[in-house]
Amino acid sequence: SGARTGRRSIRAGRPAPRRALYMAALSACRYNPALARFADTLKATGKPPKVILVAVMRKLLVLANCLLAQDRLWTPNPP
């Protein structure tokens, strides 16, 4: 343990939601200004593209969870 080098691989989570989040993250990086800025910040620090995408996926998941918990709809510009 600890001697392995190379790329990490995690196959956790259900495949269907993971695929949906992946596609949503691709779209969000391109069309959502706030998440695009977040992705650009990570890119400027030298993060690999897949790491950036997974970070955006997590942001989307946390956002969706908050909206569901508060029984609110998404508004791009909150009051």
User: For the chain, where are the E strands, in sequence order?
Assistant: none
Distances from the Cα of 22 to the Cαs of 18, 65, 70, 77, in angstroms?
6, 16, 24, 24
Please write the tens of the pLDDT for every residue from 46-76.
999 999 999 999 999 999 999 999 999 988 7
**19-51 confidence digits (pLDDT tens):** 999 999 999 999 999 999 999 999 999 999 999
Q: What's the token pair of residue 39?
A: 């992705």
Q: Which of 40, 38, 35, 41 is nearest to 74 (CA)?
A: 35
